[in-house]
Structures are given as C-alpha cells and as structure tokens.
Structure 1
C-alpha cells in the first residue's frame, strides 16, 4: 500500500478571514500534485484578486466562477466589470454560471403551488451541512467550469469555495460535467473550517 502524507488545514471559524491562507494552501497543494488549474468562487471580486496574487508567479491557471447575471437582481451582474476586465487582461478566466445544484430547482421548490425540495437541492444541502458550505460551492463551481469548457474533466483541479464570502474550503477534485455528476470525485480536502 502506498501512502504519502500531505498537510490538511483546519480553520477555527468559517469566512473571509481565511481567504489569504486558502489561496496559499491552494497553490501549495497544486504545486505538490502538478495541478495546473485552480477554480475559485468569487461573487464581488475580492477573493478573485487574492487568488490572482497567489498564482501570478506560477504556471497555474486561475478560473474564477461568479454568480450568473440576475442572481440577486434581474439583469444585474454583481461582479464588478472593472475587476473582471483587470483580471481577464492578466489571463484569468471569468465564468458566469447558473448554480448547477439549485438553478431552476429553486424556482420550483420556492413556488407555493409546486413546493417541496428537489433531489438536486438535497445533494446541495448534504454537501453544505455534512462537510462545509465551501465544499458545496467548490463542487458547484467545478461543475459550472467543466460545463463551460474552462477546465478538463480528465485532470484533477484545485477547487475553492467559501461560507457566504471569502474562501475557507480547498479541495482536490476530479471534475465532471453536471450531466455526469456522480463521476465527480472529491479526492482531498486540503483545508476547511472545523466549526460551521
């Protein structure tokens, strides 16, 4: 049996105070494994900027997954366009994507005429509650990025999510497309909050 010890990090609390450490741990683990892509969630651009600073002197490509246009307000993209332009000019890929673990399902489950949760929402809630909110976000961003063709599905990536804002969960994931969800594998949890 072959086993290589690697570092796993636990944050005392979830949230944005962990973002810089999460970025550092992401790059560290990517370099240890020879992973060339980091996928990170960022809704307003601050997390994306922190991760860009962490990867800028490496050979690692950064893929930022943002909320879709209209997520909070019809017709509005909450990610600042000036930050998107700045990052894209530096080679960062910015992906706008519908939440694969809710999207249309939320419209139906929140409708009083239809009511009830869906199987997709049950998967999201299981990831969110049994491990970490950031794991759900990391998995969802991986699916979105794969569906947009921004990452290959045959190579491991580092995927990063957070609890509300910032980054606090770092994973090594073998991606899949949403339609093949159960082919996705969370292979390592590099960092996560202990208390949620």
Structure 2
C-alpha cells in the first residue's frame, strides 16, 4: 500500500477572516499537485480580489463564480461590474450560472409555488453543508457551474474554494463533472476547512 502525506489546515471558526489563508493554501496545493486552475466563489468581490492577488505570477488561472443575477433582488447582479471588468482585464474569468443545488427546485419548495417538502437536490446540498462544511457545498456547486459552462475540463483536477456565508474557508481538490454526471464528481482532498461549523 502506498500513500502521500499532505497537509490539511483547520480553521477554529468559519468566516471571512480565513480568506487570505485559504488563498495561500489553495495556491500552495495547486503548485504541489501541478493543478492549473483555482475556482473561488465570490458574491460581492472580496474573495475574488484576494485570490486574484494570490495567483499573480504563479501560472495558475483563476475562475470566479458569482451568484446568479436575481439571487437576492430580481434583475440585480450583486457582483460589481467594474470589478468584474478589472479582473477579466487581468486574465481572471468571472462567471455566473444557475445554482445547481437550488435553482428551479427552490421555486417549487420555497418560492411562489410553496408546494412544500424538500427535493432530492436540496437533500444533497444539505448533506454536504451539514456533514462536512457549508463551504464544501459551495465549492462543489461552483465546480459544477464552471464545468457546465465549459470553463474547465472534467478530466483535470482543480482546486475549488467556498465559504460560510461570506469569505472563503473551505479549500478542496476536486475531479470535476458536469451536473448531469454529478456522481462522477470526486472530492479528492480537503485542504482546509473550519472545524467549528
């Protein structure tokens, strides 16, 4: 039997105070494994800016996945367009896509229809949130969004980063899949996560 020793980092608490360290750990593991892409979730741009600084000069590309337009307010994109333009001019991809673990399902169970109950999709999301970390659910969802938009190949490992409410606190190595092949996705390593959730 063979194994490779890797460092895993545990934050005492979740939250935005872990974002700079998460960026550092993500770049560190990408360089160790020869991974060429980091994906980070960012709602209003704070995490995006920190990660953009962290990848400069490393040869690692950055994809920022934002909330969809209308996530909080109909017709409104929460991510500042001026920041998206600036990041894209620096070679960072900024994408938005329908949330895989909510989207239409949420309209049925909680939205205008209010039919009640929970969907199987929401059960998967809740399992990821509660048994491991909210950031794991976010990282997996952002990976699916990026794969479905053709931003990443599904054959290559990537680093994906999510957080708890705001900031970044969960860093994972993931072998991606498209949403339609969800169970082919593999979370291969958890590089960092909050212990207390």
Query: Shorter-chain-normalised TM-score: which range?
Result: over 0.9
Cα deviation, residue 31, structure 1? 0.3
For residue 84 of structure 1, give the secondary structure of its aligned residue in structure 2.
Answer: helix
The separation in 2 between residues aligned to 1:143 and 1:192, in whole angstroms, is: 20
Aligned to 1:165: 166
For residue 47 of structure 1, give the secondary structure of its aligned residue in structure 2.
Answer: helix
Aligned to 1:194: 195
CA RMSD of aligned residues (A): 0.8
Aligned to 1:96: 96
Aligned to 1:107: 107
Aligned to 1:64: 64
Instruction: Answer yes or no: is 1:129 the counterpart of 2:134.
Output: no
**Residues 107 and 114, structure 2, Cα contact 8 Å, conserved in 1:** no
For residue 182 of structure 2, give the secondary structure of its aligned residue in structure 1.
Answer: helix
Q: Which runs of 5+ in 1 are unaligned?
A: none
Cα deviation, residue 115, structure 1? 1.1
Aligned to 2:75: 75
The separation in 2 between residues aligned to 1:31 and 1:66, in whole angstroms, is: 25
Cα deviation, residue 4, structure 1? 1.3
Cα deviation, 1:60-81, whole Å, max 9, x if unaligned, reads 0000000011111111000001
For residue 152 of structure 1, give the secondary structure of its aligned residue in structure 2.
Answer: coil
Cα deviation, residue 2, structure 1? 1.6
Cα deviation, residue 113, structure 1? 4.7
Aligned to 1:54: 54
Aligned to 1:31: 31
Matched ranges for 1:173-188 at <5 A? 173-188=174-189
TM-score (norm 1): 0.99
Cα deviation, 1:19-73, whole Å, max 9, x if unaligned, reads 0000000000000000000000001001000000000111100000000111111
The number of residue pairs the alignment matches comes to 196
Cα deviation, residue 114, structure 1? 1.5
* Poorly superposed stretches of 4+, deviation over 6 Å: none
TM-score (norm 2): 0.98
**Residues 40 and 139, structure 2, Cα contact 8 Å, conserved in 1:** yes
Cα deviation, 1:132-183, whole Å, max 9, x if unaligned, reads 0000000000000000011110000000000000000000000000000000
